[in-house]
C-alpha cells in the first residue's frame, strides 16, 4: 500500500520533469529559484540523448508493478529496481551538490521518494525471505 | 516446501540481494570517481577549432555582435550563455548550417545576445565576447569559446582562458579588448540583454527571436525539435 502510493507519486514527479523537458523548458522551481533550470540545462540531465526523468518514470512504473505483484520475482525485482534507483539518486544528488552546484526541488522530491521506496522494498524483501514459501 | 528447500531459497534470495547491494555501491562509487576526475575543459593552453571557425566566418561582415549583411531585412537573434553546453551543441550542429544558408546568402543577419543563466562566470565571458565584437571578431570569439567550452560547473573562465580565446579569434588589439571587456558598456550590455530575454519570456538557452518586415518587433519562437528548419522557417516568415 505504501509502496504503491510512493511509486505513483514518483511516476507523477518523473512524468512532470519529462514533460517540462520535452517542451524545451525546465521544471518550475518553487519560490523562483533557478536551480531547476540550471540542473535541466546541465549535460547530466540526459543520457544518450534521453532525459533521465524518462528512465525515472520507467523505474517508478516497475516499482508500481512490483508493489502489486507477489512472489520472488515481484519482491526481489522491486528491491533491485529500488536499489538501482536509490543508487542513481545518490549519484545525482552528489552531482547537484558538488558538480552542477544547483538544487532542483523536483529532483530532491524524486530522490526522497526513491529512498523511501528502497527502504520499503528492502523491508518487504527481508520479511519475505523470512517467510515460509 | 521442506525446511531444507526453504533454507536454500532464503539463502539464495539473500545472496542475490547482497550481490545487488554490493554492485550498486561499487557502481555509485565508480560514477562519482569518474565524474570527479573528468576533465574540466576550458584549457587556455590548447584552444581548438579556431582555424575552422575563422574560415567559416571569413568574408562575412560583422558589426558588434551582429554577423551578416547589414542591409539584410531579417535579423535572427540568439540569446545564449557561453557556459551553456546546449548552446555549444547548437554552435557546432545548428548555427553553421544557418550561417551558410541564411547569413552568407544575405537572407538574414544573426545577432548573439547574452542571456546569462549558468553562473557568475557567464557574465564576464559574455562581456569578453562583446569586447571582441568591438573589433569585429565577436562571432569568432563566441564560436571558438563554444568549441573550447569546459565543464559548466568548473571555474575555467579565467583571464588566461578568455585571452587565449580572444587571441585565437583574431582580436588584434588585446590591450584594448582587456579594457573593453571590463568596461561598464560591456557589462551593462550583458545585464540588459539578460533582462530583455526574461521579458521575452525565455527560460533557457539557447533561445531565439526574429525581427523583420513581417514581425511586430522582436518575436520569440521555438527551435528545439528540428532547429535548422525552424530557424530557417522563422527567417522566411519574417520577410
Whether B17 shows a pLDDT value over 60: the answer reads: yes
B22 shares a domain with B61: no
Q: What is the pLDDT of residue A131?
A: 63
B10 shares a domain with B118: no
- Percent pLDDT > 70 in chain B is 97
Q: What is the pLDDT of residue B3?
A: 67
Residue A25 placed within a domain: yes
Reported pTM: 0.60
The H or E element spanning position A126 is helix A105-130
Q: Which three cell numbers stand for residue B145?
A: 569559446
Residue A99 placed within a domain: yes
pLDDT digits over B67-105, tens only? 999 999 999 999 999 999 999 999 998 999 999 999 999
Q: Which three cell numbers stand for residue A28?
A: 518550475
Least confident span in A117-121, B23-27, B45-49: B45-49
Q: What is the pLDDT of residue B40?
A: 63
pLDDT digits over B43-72, tens only? 788 888 899 899 999 999 999 999 999 999
CA distance B83 to chain A (A): 10
B76 shares a domain with B11: no
Whether A132 shows a pLDDT value over 80: the answer reads: no
B93 shares a domain with B7: no
For the CA atoms of B63, B139, B116, B49, what is the dihedral angle to 10 degrees?
-170
Closest Cβ–Cβ partner in A37, A83, A88 for B20: A83
B122 shares a domain with B19: no
The H or E element spanning position A84 is helix A71-94
Residue A48 placed within a domain: yes
> How many Cβ atoms from other residues are within 10 Å of residue A11's Cβ?
19
Q: Which residue of B has its CA nearest to A49?
A: B86
Q: What is the pLDDT of residue A71?
A: 81
Non-local CB neighbours of A88 within 8 Å, separated by 6+ positions: A114, B28
Q: The domain spanning residue B109 has which CATH number?
A: 3.40.30.10
Chain A residues with CB under 8 Å of B19 CB are none
pLDDT digits over B146-187, tens only? 999 988 878 899 999 999 999 999 999 999 999 999 999 999
Of A66 and A25, the one with more pLDDT:
A66
> How many Cβ atoms from other residues are within 10 Å of residue B102's Cβ?
23
B152 shares a domain with B114: yes
CA distance B222 to chain A (A): 8
Q: What is the pLDDT of residue A24?
A: 65
Whether B35 shows a pLDDT value over 60: the answer reads: yes
B98 shares a domain with B215: yes
Q: Which of B2, B18, B30, B31 best tests the A interface by mutation, with the highest count of A CBs <10 A? A: B31
Q: What is the pLDDT of residue A100?
A: 75
Residue A8 placed within a domain: yes
Residue B21 placed within a domain: yes
Q: The domain spanning residue A53 has which CATH number?
A: 1.20.1440.130
- Percent pLDDT > 90 in chain B is 71
Q: In the structure, what pLDDT confidence band is assigned to residue A126 with cuts at 50, 70 and 90?
A: confident
CA dist list (Å): A123 to A120, A129, B43: 5, 10, 49
Q: Which of B13, B86, B223, B225 best tests the A interface by mutation, with the highest count of A CBs <10 A? A: B13
**Which domain covers residue B28, as residue numbers?**
1-37
Mean pLDDT across B221-228: 85
Within a 13 Å sphere around the CA of B118, how many CA atoms are in the beta-carbon half? 32
Residue B44 placed within a domain: no
Closest Cβ–Cβ partner in A84, A101, A133 for B6: A133
Contact yes or no for B84 and A41 at CB 8 A: yes
pLDDT digits over A34-93, tens only? 678 778 877 788 888 888 999 999 999 999 999 998 888 888 899 999 999 999 999 999
How many domains does chain B contain in total? 2
d(CA A5, CA B67): 55
Residue B42 placed within a domain: no
Residue B45 placed within a domain: no
Closest Cβ–Cβ partner in A42, A80, A133 for B1: A133
Closest Cβ–Cβ partner in B13, B32, B203 for A72: B13
B63 shares a domain with B9: no
Chain B residues with CB under 8 Å of A101 CB are 119, 153
B197 shares a domain with B93: yes
Whether B118 shows a pLDDT value over 60: the answer reads: yes
Q: What is the pLDDT of residue A33?
A: 63
How many domains does chain A contain in total? 1
CA nearest to B94, candidates B171, B146, B42: B146
Q: What is the pLDDT of residue B1?
A: 54
Chain B residues with CB under 8 Å of A51 CB are none
Residue B225 placed within a domain: yes
**Which domain covers residue A112, as residue numbers?**
2-128
B33 shares a domain with B54: no
Mean pLDDT of chain B: 91
B56 shares a domain with B33: no
Chain B residues with CB under 8 Å of A83 CB are 20-21, 24
CA dist list (Å): B227 to B67, B107, B142, B223: 19, 17, 19, 4
Residue B43 placed within a domain: no
Residue A133 placed within a domain: no
Q: What is the DSSP string of B14-37?
A: HHHHHHHHHHHHHHHHHHHHHHHH
Amino acid at each position: 500500500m505504501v509502496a504503491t502510493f510512493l511509486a505513483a507519486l514518483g511516476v507523477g514527479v518523473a512524468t512532470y520533469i519529462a514533460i517540462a523537458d520535452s517542451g524545451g523548458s525546465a521544471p518550475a522551481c518553487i519560490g523562483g529559484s533557478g536551480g531547476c533550470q540550471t540542473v535541466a540545462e546541465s549535460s547530466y540531465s540526459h543520457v544518450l540523448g534521453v532525459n533521465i526523468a524518462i528512465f525515472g518514470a520507467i523505474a517508478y512504473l516497475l516499482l508500481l508493478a512490483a508493489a502489486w505483484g507477489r512472489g520472488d520475482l515481484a519482491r526481489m525485482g522491486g528491491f533491485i529496481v529500488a536499489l538501482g534507483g536509490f543508487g542513481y539518486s545518490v549519484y545525482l544528488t552528489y552531482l547537484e551538490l558538488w558538480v552542477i552546484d544547483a538544487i532542483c526541488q523536483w529532483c530532491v522530491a524524486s530522490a526522497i521518494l526513491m529512498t523511501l521506496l528502497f527502504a520499503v522494498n528492502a523491508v518487504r524483501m527481508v520479511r519475505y525471505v523470512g517467510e515460509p514459501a | 516446501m521442506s525446511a531444507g528447500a526453504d533454507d536454500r531459497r532464503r539463502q539464495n534470495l539473500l545472496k542475490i540481494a547482497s550481490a545487488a547491494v554490493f554492485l550498486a555501491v561499487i557502481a555509485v562509487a565508480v560514477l562519482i570517481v569518474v565524474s570527479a576526475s573528468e576533465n574540466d575543459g576550458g584549457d587556455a593552453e590548447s584552444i581548438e577549432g579556431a582555424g575552422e571557425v575563422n574560415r567559416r566566418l571569413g568574408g562575412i561582415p560583422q558589426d558588434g555582435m551582429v554577423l551578416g549583411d547589414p542591409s539584410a531585412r531579417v535579423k535572427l537573434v540568439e540569446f545564449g550563455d557561453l557556459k551553456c553546453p546546449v548552446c555549444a551543441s547548437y554552435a557546432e550542429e545548428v548555427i553553421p548550417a544557418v550561417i551558410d544558408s541564411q547569413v552568407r546568402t544575405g537572407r538574414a543577419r544573426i545577432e548573439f545576445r547574452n542571456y546569462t543563466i549558468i553562473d557568475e562566470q557567464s557574465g564576464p565571458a559574455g562581456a569578453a565576447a562583446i569586447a571582441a565584437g568591438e573589433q569585429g571578431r565577436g562571432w569568432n570569439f563566441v564560436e571558438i569559446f563554444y568549441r573550447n567550452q569546459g565543464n559548466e560547473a568548473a571555474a575555467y573562465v579565467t583571464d588566461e582562458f578568455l585571452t587565449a580565446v580572444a587571441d585565437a579569434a583574431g582580436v588584434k588589439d588585446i590591450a584594448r579588448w582587456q579594457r573593453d571587456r571590463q568596461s561598464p558598456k560591456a557589462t551593462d550590455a550583458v545585464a540588459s540583454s539578460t533582462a530583455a530575454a526574461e521579458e521575452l519570456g525565455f527560460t533557457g538557452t539557447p533561445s531565439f527571436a526574429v525581427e523583420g518586415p513581417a514581425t511586430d518587433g522582436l518575436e520569440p519562437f521555438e527551435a528545439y525539435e528540428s532547429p535548422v528548419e525552424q530557424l530557417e522557417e522563422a527567417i522566411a516568415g519574417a520577410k
